[in-house]
């Protein structure tokens, strides 16, 4: 942006603009920034005058950014992130009194055991802070981190993270089998392959990593139901001979909800690894390492 333009513009509304790009709502953006709706609308109107563009078009309940807004965000977003990272070390964080809004991504198999524990911690230690949880899987996590939509992701994350992202291995678990039938003996591999199976994947597939492992062993199973949400799984096997192979991290809450039994898998399943990945630019913000520490403690406590 030319020097003359910088002399003419109040840079404070750019924070409002970046928040509007994330929330797509004047009301929600104002709540995050502790601004009234008139103040948020006023900042947006000033930006519209400077950029000579409407920036956001109302579509139902949400705003859609214009092409010009997307272009501005592509240029301004990294600059705002860099400024925040530069200023963060000088801004202390007191969880007991500060009102921060955290944004994280989480796969639902990690969210089910994590969020009850984490919510209790936040309400007890950081009662004025708020948390938004975005659904994240191995496909969406890199983009969420790169765009700054979330500051960290908990779950299965592949290697194609943004260049400056960091990661920590949280849990290396294993798969177990859920069943509703009353038989007392663990199921055999032969019987398992003859029974119908439900499978949870991010796309509702009928084949997953367990099927790949069975194929290497020369076996196959009958997956008859594909789901995209672990929370739906406890509703399915009741009254049937259906089986479901799930990560051990999420097995106990699902079994308790659906009245299911947990069996070991009758075959050597691959490990299930939960990772914490975060934007390196947030390391200078004392609030972010604090939250990462509470996530680690909460997940390990839920698994104990």
CATH numbers and ranges of domains, the chain: 3-90 (1.10.10.10), 101-164+280-303 (3.40.190.10), 175-270 (3.40.190.10)
> In this structure, are residues 279 and 199 in contact, taking their beta carbons and an 8 Å threshold?
no
Task: Give the C-alpha separation, 26 to 210, whole Å.
Answer: 45
pLDDT for 3 equals 46
- CB-based contacts of 299, cutoff 8 Å, min separation 6: 110, 113, 114, 117, 154, 170, 171, 274
Give per-residue pLDDT as tens, 61-103: 778 889 998 888 887 777 776 666 665 555 688 999 999 899 9
Read off the pTM: 0.72
User: Hey, how many other C-beta atoms are within 10 angstroms of the C-beta on 142?
Assistant: 19
pLDDT for 4 equals 42
For β-strands 272-279 and 165-173, DSSP reports them as antiparallel
For all residues of the chain together, what is the average pLDDT? Answer: 86
Name which of 205, 207, 237 is nearest 220 in CA terms: 207
* 253 — pLDDT class (breaks 50, 70, 90): very high
DSSP annotation string for 97-108: T---EEEEEE-H
Average of pLDDT values for 270-292? 89
Task: Give the C-alpha separation, 223 to 41, whole Å.
Answer: 52
Q: How many alpha carbons lie under 13 Å from residue 144 in its C-beta half-sphere?
A: 22
More confident of the two residues 60 and 75:
75
> Is residue 1 predicted with pLDDT exceeding 50?
no
> Is residue 117 predicted with pLDDT exceeding 80?
yes
Q: Where are the alpha helices (DSSP H) in the chain?
A: 3-8, 13-23, 26-33, 37-51, 67-87, 108-125, 141-147, 189-194, 209-217, 248-258, 287-303
Average of pLDDT values for 224-247? 92
Task: Give the C-alpha separation, 144 to 157, whole Å.
Answer: 12
The three-point CA angle 295-142-206 to 5° equals 90
Helices 67-87 & 13-23, crossing angle to 10 degrees? 120
User: Hey, how many other C-beta atoms are within 10 angstroms of the C-beta on 116?
Assistant: 12
Task: Give the C-alpha separation, 151 to 161, whole Å.
Answer: 13
> Is residue 6 predicted with pLDDT exceeding 60?
no
pLDDT for 8 equals 54
Give per-residue pLDDT as tens, 36-46: 888 888 888 88
Average of pLDDT values for 269-276? 88
Task: Give the C-alpha separation, 146 to 111, whole Å.
Answer: 21
pLDDT for 11 equals 64
């Amino acid at each position: 942006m030319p020097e003359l333009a910088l002399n003419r513009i109040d840079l404070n509304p750019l924070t409002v603009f970046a928040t509007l790009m994330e929330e797509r709502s004047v009301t929600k953006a104002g709540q995050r920034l502790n601004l009234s709706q008139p103040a948020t609308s006023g900042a947006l109107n000033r930006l519209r005058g400077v950029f000579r563009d409407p920036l956001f078009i109302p579509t139902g309940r949400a705003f859609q950014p214009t092409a010009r807004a997307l272009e501005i965000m592509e240029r301004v977003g990294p600059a705002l992130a860099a400024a925040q990272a530069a200023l963060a070390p000088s801004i202390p964080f007191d969880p007991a009194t500060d009102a921060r809004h955290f944004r994280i991504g989480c796969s639902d198999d990690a969210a089910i055991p994590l969020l009850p524990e984490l919510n209790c911690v936040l309400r007890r230690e950081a009662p004025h802070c708020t948390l938004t949880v975005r659904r994240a899987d191995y496909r969406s996590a890199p983009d969420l981190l790169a765009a700054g939509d979330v500051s960290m992701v908990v779950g299965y994350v592949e290697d194609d993270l943004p260049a400056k992202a960091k990661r920590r291995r949280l849990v290396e678990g294993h798969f177990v089998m859920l069943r509703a039938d009353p038989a007392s003996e663990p199921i055999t591999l032969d019987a398992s392959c003859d029974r119908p199976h439900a499978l949870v994947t991010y796309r509702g597939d009928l084949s997953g990593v367990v099927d790949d492992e069975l194929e290497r062993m020369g076996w196959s199973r009958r997956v008859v139901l594909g789901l995209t949400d672990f929370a739906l799984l406890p509703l399915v096997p009741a009254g049937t001979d259906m089986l479901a192979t799930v990560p051990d991290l999420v097995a106990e809450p699902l079994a308790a909800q659906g009245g299911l039994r947990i069996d070991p898998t009758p075959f050597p399943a691959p490990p299930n690894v939960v990772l914490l990945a975060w934007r390196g630019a947030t390391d200078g913000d004392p609030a972010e390492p604090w939250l990462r520490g509470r996530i680690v403690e909460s997940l390990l406590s839920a698994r104990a």
